[in-house]
Chains A and B, each alone.
Chain A
């Protein structure tokens, strides 16, 4: 592979993996929280929360990027806090790219996790309580492990979505080699460059392979989780 791929290609792959992994890890707790609230919660404004969580799925990504720019810019509510408290900014940094990817991946992750939480039999949780488990212990030993297939699926889908993130990222943190130029943005840049055809081809093939590997891995993990429990191969 190293003969086929240039050092620049490897750097782009490495950056994309870093951004996507960070996006998934940072988004996962929020995705689980929203999924749990939407699956189990009864509160006013639930429909509104549902809508807000799904917004990145339907709004043009460039609008999401612009909103992130407003929020995380030096004058923005979040950007101002980050600057005053920690002296950092995510603008034009890979961390900003991870935030954009995470926001765009959130709806997919919430949907997958929510489905698996809704599929959990409430009565198993009641059984656990009669066996001496308090609510927190029930959550850790019954609810969380039984929603694991959804968490894994959500994480892999989120990872694949993050790898492909383009519009919100380029709007929010621009196109900076080695910092925010992830695979799709690198492909876009190569397309704009005379003689960039072979780079476009290489990077496109890598994109397809990475996404495919992620999806196959998620399918394999979901199957393994199922076969372990039922004691036979499905």
Chain B
């Protein structure tokens, strides 16, 4: 399964565009801040509508401007890990993890809560509130929440940026294990060359349009 994306969208005075050919594993979107890397992830997630192009995942069409196809975000089953974790502040860790799991159809659930907890090492956090988590803990919970929603692919928007160095290593290891053990395609945004170097099988430079 892999991403196959070609989108353009005018935002303000500039045009954001990306061409992502199908590739296994991690595809790194690389480029300076402000060129619209996050906008591209938002388009793939279904939060932002492209002006033209197509978005396919594993051969299934999420969006196709020519054919008039536009699957709403909640039906795409694409997990999104944001820069800031973005956990629901009014739910404990357990409630956050199970949010998407409860909404997913039984046949789309491919990982259980127990498996997720041991995979990410977050067993001790279940009854904590998000506000009491460290950055690395919050980011691992956010990844678990995305996996449990039955995601068939992951979008990651600079997931290490808000973390200190030891926490970065901790989350980076998790991401590599998702790539190698769970075989989920990942679209990964960063402006850090070292991260891009370490993760990327396919690297796509995003420049000013």
A145: chain B residues at CB < 8 Å are: 90
A231, B131: Cβ atoms closer than 8 Å: yes
B103, A132: Cβ atoms closer than 8 Å: yes
B74, A132: Cβ atoms closer than 8 Å: yes
Closest Cβ of chain A to B40, distance in Å, is: 15
B99, A141: Cβ atoms closer than 8 Å: yes
Closest Cβ of chain A to B77, distance in Å, is: 7
A229: chain B residues at CB < 8 Å are: 89-90, 129, 131
Q: Does A2 contact B (CB under 8 A)?
A: no
A127: chain B residues at CB < 8 Å are: 80, 82, 86, 88
B132, A231: Cβ atoms closer than 8 Å: yes
Closest Cβ of chain B to A232, distance in Å, is: 7
Closest Cβ of chain B to A140, distance in Å, is: 12
B103, A131: Cβ atoms closer than 8 Å: yes
A134: chain B residues at CB < 8 Å are: 72, 74
B100, A131: Cβ atoms closer than 8 Å: yes
Q: Which of B63-104 contact A (CB under 8 A)?
A: 72-80, 82, 86, 88-90, 99-100, 103-104
Known contacts A127-B82, A130-B73, A132-B74: A230-B129 contact under CB 8 Å? yes
Given the complex of chains A and B, what is the CA–CA distance between A231 and B89 in angstroms?
Answer: 10
A146, B47: Cβ atoms closer than 8 Å: no
Given the complex of chains A and B, what is the CA–CA distance between A229 and B87 in angstroms?
Answer: 12
Task: Give a binary string over A216-234; 1 marks a CB under 8 Å from any B CB, 0 the rest.
Answer: 0000000000001111100
Q: Does B149 contact A (CB under 8 A)?
A: yes
A132, B149: Cβ atoms closer than 8 Å: yes
Closest Cβ of chain B to A204, distance in Å, is: 40
Q: Does A142 contact B (CB under 8 A)?
A: yes
Q: Does A42 contact B (CB under 8 A)?
A: no
Query: Which residue in B47, B79, B132 is a CB contact (below 8 Å) of A230?
Result: B132
Given the complex of chains A and B, what is the CA–CA distance between A129 and B45 in angstroms?
Answer: 9
B73, A146: Cβ atoms closer than 8 Å: no
A228: chain B residues at CB < 8 Å are: 129
Q: Which of B145-179 contact A (CB under 8 A)?
A: 145-146, 149-150
Q: Does A128 contact B (CB under 8 A)?
A: yes
B132: chain A residues at CB < 8 Å are: 230-232
* Extra pairs beyond A129-B47, A131-B79, A132-B77 (13, CB < 8 Å): A121-B86, A124-B89, A126-B45, A130-B80, A131-B100, A132-B75, A132-B103, A132-B150, A137-B74, A229-B89, A230-B132, A231-B129, A232-B132
Q: Offer 18 A-B interface pairs, CB within 8 angstroms, sorted by A.
A: A123-B86, A126-B42, A126-B45, A128-B88, A130-B73, A130-B76, A130-B78, A131-B149, A132-B103, A134-B72, A137-B74, A137-B103, A141-B99, A145-B90, A229-B129, A230-B129, A231-B131, A232-B132
Chain A interface residues toward B at CB < 8 A: 121, 123-124, 126-134, 137, 141-142, 145-146, 228-232
What 4 A-B pairs come out closest when comparing CB atoms? A131-B100, A132-B103, A231-B132, A129-B73
